[in-house]
Amino acid sequence: MLKNISSTLFIMVLAMLSSFAVTILLGRTLSASDFGEFTLLKQILLIGSTVAVFGLDYSYIKNFANQNPVSLRTHLFTLFIFVTISAIFVVVLEFLYAVDFTKLLYIYFCILFGAINFYIAAIERLNNRFLLAQLFAHGWKIALLILVGILLLTDIEIDIKIIYPLFTLSLFIGSTFMIRYLLSHTDNETRDIGVKNYLTFGLMFWLINSTGLVSGGIDKLVIPILFGSDTLGVYAAVSFLFVISLTMVGSAIGYVIFPKISSGEQINVKKWSLIVLVLCISAIVVYQFVGSFLVSLIFSGKYDAYVSSRIILTFSVIGSLQIIHTILHFVISAKGHKHQLMSYWFISILFILLFVALLYFGQIDNNSALMRISTIVMIVRSAKIVVMAIFLKILIENNADNPPTLLAIPID
């Protein structure tokens, strides 16, 4: 088990670092508008693939753990779901963003290939090949870095038009292995796959994971609609160091405590609260001294005009709030019953709507767009954390004599 965990963690870290490297390289290369479009595209693909997979990757593991190999009918039915939901997703996307048809086509295949990759990863997890599972789920980020690196080394000009086929090719590489699973079934088995149970179980994961991703990236989805790609590009670049680095810290802590809580192990709340508090205060203080220099270094001074002590403080606080928010999400996921997780999903929906409303009405403010957006993010995130803490307290009290069956899977 330790070997599986270490190899899985290695691929996760490598993929994460590859994603950071691509963001930095393109942040230096692309214009603010194109970098904003790249940021939006990355968020759309992350959410789109999660939506298109419909939670069937986790449902597959749950339903077919003792039924390997699974019939060809199951794979074909699953692919049909992916194709259909991907198509619906891009139609909604066109309505929201009026995307060029060629770009929309690339996005469709990216989302479809991403969903297939998640599904293949589930198959490999069921076969105890965890390293391969991680490569299928996140290896495309490593492939994207390699492709971007090749273009930079060959002095080929990189603009937003070439980013779309690069994403598509990166995601396509892993999804081609689906052919192997289809061709490996030579029988005409028509065994009942339990469609209702397969879909309804996936629906729970779909609701929680999709909403969680939308909630975490709602700022990047709404900003280009209300303020334009230029503003999103600046926002993404200036916030990148402060928010992403601290979100990673929250995810790392969450991954450590999630299995412990799930197995019923007691967690020293005071100890972890003190650790989180020290991390947050330390990050805010350190970034006040070196934040401006680091942003300038990462993006070659491209966004220096937008950086100020106030902006750094605001984004540092948002990053610190992300640590708390991520940890609370993991704890709620580990402790919640099915109906409690649905309540948590409803809370997330309400705060998504609140953020969109505040950002929409915030357009009439005369302050700079960057400061206005970051302030709204900070307010909404703080309010949600308070509600999550209260919800968790009630959840723990209600479950004191009735331990939950684990249903939730933490969001990456």
Query: Could you tell me which residue, 249 or 285, shows the higher pLDDT?
Result: 285
* 404: pLDDT strictly greater than 70: no
Q: Identify the domain boundary among 193, 223, 249.
A: 193
Structural domain containing residue 258:
207-398
- Name the residue type at position 256: V
Q: Are residues 44 and 104 in the same domain?
A: yes
Average of per-residue pLDDT values in the chain = 82
**Res 111 pLDDT > 90:** yes
Q: Do 229 and 363 have their domain in common?
A: yes
Q: Are residues 74 and 216 in the same domain?
A: no
Whether residues 185 and 224 fall in one domain: no
pLDDT in tens, 127-153: 777 778 788 888 899 999 999 999 988
Q: Is 40 within the bounds of a domain? A: yes
Same domain, 175 and 235: no
Using alpha carbons, select from 335, 333, 321 the residue that is nearest to residue 383.
321
Q: How confident is the model at residue 181 (pLDDT cuts 50, 70, 90)?
A: confident
Q: Within a domain: residue 404?
A: no
Taking Cα atoms as reference points, which of 34, 40, 360, 377 lies closest to residue 227? Answer: 360
Is 405 among the domain residues?
Answer: no
- The proportion of the chain whose per-residue pLDDT surpasses 70, expressed as a percent, equals 85
Residues 164 and 25 in one domain: yes
Domain assignment present for residue 293? The answer is: yes
Residue 201 covered by a domain: no
CB atoms within 10 A of CB 328: 20
**Are 252 and 356 part of one and the same domain?**
yes
Give yes or no: residues 164 and 211 share one domain. Answer: no
Least confident of 55-64, 116-125, 301-310, 324-333: 55-64
Q: Which of the residue ranges 244-248, 386-390, 399-403 has the most confident prediction, judged by mean pLDDT?
A: 386-390
Please indicate, yes or no, whether residues 211 and 82 belong to a single structural domain of this protein.
no
Q: Is 136 helix (H, G, I), strand (E, B) or coil?
A: helix
Higher pLDDT, 190 or 180: 180
pLDDT of 191 higher than 60 = no
Residues 350 and 235 in one domain: yes
Instruction: With CA atoms as reference, report the closest residue to 134 among 8, 255, 240.
Output: 8
Total tally of structural domains belonging to the chain: 2
352 part of a folded domain? yes
Q: Does the residue 8 lie in any domain?
A: yes
Q: What are phi and psi of 310, to 5 degrees?
A: -65, -40
Judgement on whether residues 160 and 273 belong to the same structural domain of the protein: no
Task: Grade residue 262 by pLDDT with cuts at 50, 70 and 90.
Answer: low
In angstroms, rounded to a whole number, what is the distance separating the alpha carbons of residues 162 and 222?
24
Residue 410 lies in a domain: no
Of 158, 193, 228, the position where a domain reaches its end is 193
**324 and 353 share one domain:** yes
Task: State how far the Cα of 37 lies from the Cα of 303, in Å rounded to an integer.
Answer: 16
Q: Residue 9 pLDDT > 70, yes or no?
A: no
Q: What is the DSSP string of 282-334?
A: HHHHHHHHHHHHHHHHHTTTTTGGG--HHHHHHHHHHHHHHHHHHHHHHHHHH
Helices 160-175 and 130-153, axial angle in degrees (round to 10):
150
Q: How far apart (Å, rounded) are the C-alpha atoms in residues 53 and 115?
A: 5
Which domain-ending residue is among 146, 167, 193?
193
